[in-house]
């Protein structure tokens, strides 16, 4: 018995997408970003599927510990770094490399009595205004870190791009220029590019790249799909029709009665909803696929179910498989229709959705 809502993971696609990163950035080492449970795909299984990567990156120390406990041996960078003395101690014990982005972390490093050494990425805020030291602080901070015995030398350097998905804007060239000028005379390797940088800004390719979303086969650009970039999506999300009925003109469908039937409609109920991670804000008209044909969403998404218009699919019947996204229906399309981004849809898959590895 197949569960009502399930996701399939094509793990071979992970290897293919990693190889595509190497094609886009042939001279760079790859830090595969598998934070947030590998964008909802399952961190350990994706780490194993991406075994050919040079390193991994996660957001939090506890994610790094989980990877080590699962036997992952590659270098692991913690993108938010340690946030207290205990996390610093754990980073040393589990050999997690740290992003150093604020004064409080420097104080923790200075107070540390540990004998082990930690590999760090000094993060410069070149315009994202999230984590990192200001350009004016960089030289002083670098000098201070050089004096701390707990830090492995040389110190690695990184920044993060705020708008690399925007081809026309000036922000990426400005960030790049600032970072290059600031770091020109320093030893240590550099890392700038996320997926959008790798795919669209060759100038941002340095010794290390940090692909995330493209490894899952998904495009970072709203106007392109992963398939169009040569990537293969890993995840498909599926359910099935559990009822078919007719709705008369003038009747409403779903909570709030917001969808009003304009003509006699053959309607299907699909066993998936926001309780599974299907986006509650998907607009009427958002497509699903049934037997390879599109059917539009009608009414509001509820916790366990959605309604779709089967008028154009007279043979669709109870039991038929419904693709919410996957083969033939890119998740990028669903994200646009729900006013969100594919990242949020992938991360939002809930515990109720059973996963099948392919
Ligand atoms: C999440 C993240 C990435 C990966 O970004 P994608 O857009 O998924 O490629 C890279 N670097 C940092 C600092 C991140 O937080």
Residues of the chain with pLDDT under 70: none
Just give the CATH number of 235-357.
2.40.37.10
C-alpha separations of 212 from 59, 63, 262 in Å? 12, 15, 44
In the chain, where are the structural domains located? 12-220, 235-357
pLDDT at 254 (0 to 100)? 87
pLDDT digits (tens, 9 = 90+) for 287-346: 999 999 999 999 999 999 999 999 999 999 999 999 999 999 999 999 999 999 999 999
pLDDT at 296 (0 to 100)? 98
pLDDT at 168 (0 to 100)? 86
173 backbone dihedrals φ, ψ, rounded to 5°:
-60, -35
pLDDT at 185 (0 to 100)? 94
CA 204 – ligand 1 centroid, Å:
14
CA 279 – ligand 1 centroid, Å:
22
255 is catalytic: yes
Please give the number of the atom of ligand 1 that sits closest to the Cα of 210: 10
35 is catalytic: yes
pLDDT at 2 (0 to 100)? 84
pLDDT at 1 (0 to 100)? 80
Q: Which long-range contacts (CB under 8 A, 24 or more apart) does 207-211 make?
A: 207/28, 207/29, 208/28, 208/29, 208/30, 208/31, 208/54, 208/55, 208/156, 208/158, 209/21, 209/25, 209/28, 209/29, 209/30, 209/31, 210/31, 210/33, 210/57, 211/21, 211/30, 211/32, 211/33
CA 248 – ligand 1 centroid, Å:
48
pLDDT at 240 (0 to 100)? 98
Residue nearest to atom 8 of ligand 1 (CA): 212
| Tokens 């996390």 found at | 87
pLDDT at 24 (0 to 100)? 97
Instruction: Select from 1.10.357.10, 3.40.50.300, 3.40.50.920, 3.20.20.10 the CATH code of 12-220.
Output: 3.20.20.10
pLDDT at 128 (0 to 100)? 93
Catalytic residue among 6, 24, 35, 343: 35
CB distance 101 to 132 below 8 Å? yes
pLDDT at 258 (0 to 100)? 84
pLDDT digits (tens, 9 = 90+) for 250-293: 999 988 888 899 999 999 999 999 999 999 999 999 999 999 99
The model scores a pTM over 0.85 = yes
- 233: tokens are 């999506």
Ligand 1 pocket check for 176: Cβ under 6 Å: no
CA 193 – ligand 1 centroid, Å:
8
Catalytic residue among 2, 134, 152, 255: 255
């Amino acid at each position: 018995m197949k569960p009502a809502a399930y996701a399939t993971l094509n793990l071979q696609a992970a290897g293919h997408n990693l190889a595509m990163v190497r094609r886009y950035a042939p001279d760079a080492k790859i830090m595969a970003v598998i934070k947030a449970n590998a964008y909802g795909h399952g961190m350990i299984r994706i780490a194993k599927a991406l075994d050919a990567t040079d390193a991994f990156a996660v957001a939090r120390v506890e994610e790094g510990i989980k990877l080590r406990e699962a036997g992952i041996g590659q270098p692991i960078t913690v993108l938010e770094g340690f946030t207290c003395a205990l996390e610093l101690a754990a980073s040393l014990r589990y050999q997690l490399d740290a992003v150093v982005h604020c004064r409080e972390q420097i104080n923790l490093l200075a107070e540390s009595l540990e004998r082990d050494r930690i590999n760090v990425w000094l993060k410069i805020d070149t315009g994202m205004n999230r984590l990192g030291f200001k350009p004016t602080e960089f030289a002083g901070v670098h000098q201070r870190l050089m004096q701390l015995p707990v830090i492995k030398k040389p110190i690695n350097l990184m920044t993060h791009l705020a708008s690399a998905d925007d081809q026309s804007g000036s922000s990426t060239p400005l960030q790049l220029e600032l970072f290059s000028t600031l770091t020109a005379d320093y030893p240590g390797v550099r890392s700038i590019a996320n997926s959008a940088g790798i795919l669209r800004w060759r100038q941002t390719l340095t010794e290390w790249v940090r692909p995330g979303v493209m490894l899952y086969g998904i495009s970072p650009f709203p106007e392109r799909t992963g398939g169009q970039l040569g990537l293969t999506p890993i995840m498909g999300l599926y359910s099935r029709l559990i009822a078919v009925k007719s709705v008369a003109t003038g009747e409403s469908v779903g909570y709030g009665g917001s969808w009003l039937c304009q003509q006699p409609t053959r309607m299907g109920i699909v066993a998936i909803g926001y309780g599974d991670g299907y986006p509650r804000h998907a607009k009427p008209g958002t497509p699903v696929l049934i037997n390879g044909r599109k059917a539009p969403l009608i009414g509001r998404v509820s916790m366990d179910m959605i309604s779709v218009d089967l008028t154009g699919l007279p043979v669709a019947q109870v039991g038929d498989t419904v693709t919410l996204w996957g083969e033939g229906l890119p998740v990028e399309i669903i994200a646009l229709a729900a006013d969100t981004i594919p990242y949020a849809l992938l991360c939002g898959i809930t515990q109720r959705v059973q996963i099948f590895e392919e």
